[in-house]
Amino acid sequence: MARVPLLNPEDVPEQATFVDRVLSGRRGRLINVYRTLLHSPPLAESWFEHINKIRWGTEIDGRLREIVIIRLGHLVSSAYVLRQHVPKLAIAEGMTEAECDALADWTASDMFSVAERATLGYVDAMTRNIVVPDDAFEPLRTHFTHRQIVELTLMVGAYISHSRVLQALEVDLEPDGLGG
């Protein structure tokens, strides 16, 4: 159960403009993370803007973005992140359910390209350690521009933060069928 109550739009009528932006950006639903973050409207709005830029304002393609997010969900044991992205968002970006499952232990799978495997190694290193060793970073240079490496790094950092907040506040899972 969530550690803070989930707010509904009627609980924060002064935030109607922001709630409408979230609803339009989330296909008409106010998901639990925003129902939680509305306790701090300025930070809810900042979070919304930042995560949308991370997800759709980069040169990282949708498939790789979902690979990163789902791997992070496995690494930090975030049922919320996994429920939101598997399989609906991932499949919309061209992944299969088998690939989503394989991300739990990607090193044992041959389902991912060399560039995806370089990214997964980097995601693992960034998530498990503060200092990323050269052998985890260097393979990125072969596959990505400097801009893409920066964007990928910010994406990993944002979703690590996202997962930590969700877990610390014990944000309730969305009901079945409302993921994505």
pLDDT digits (tens, 9 = 90+) for 64-81: 999 999 999 999 988 888
Residue 178's pLDDT is what? 52
Does the model's pTM come out above 0.85? yes
Q: Give the three-class secondary structure for 140.
A: helix
In angstroms, the CA 26 to CA 180 distance is: 8
Residue 176's pLDDT is what? 64
For residues 177, 32, 161 and 20, what is the CA-based torsion angle, rounded to 10 degrees?
A: 100
Residue by residue, DSSP assigns 61-107 as -HHHHHHHHHHHHHHTT-HHHHHHHTTHHHHHTT--HHHHHHGGGGG
pLDDT tens sequence across 14-53: 999 999 999 987 667 899 999 999 999 999 999 999 999 9
Q: Are 134 and 46 in contact (CB under 8 A)?
A: no
pLDDT exceeds cutoff 80 at 180? no
Residue with tokens 């989330």: 26
Residue with tokens 């109550």: 5
Residue 104's pLDDT is what? 96
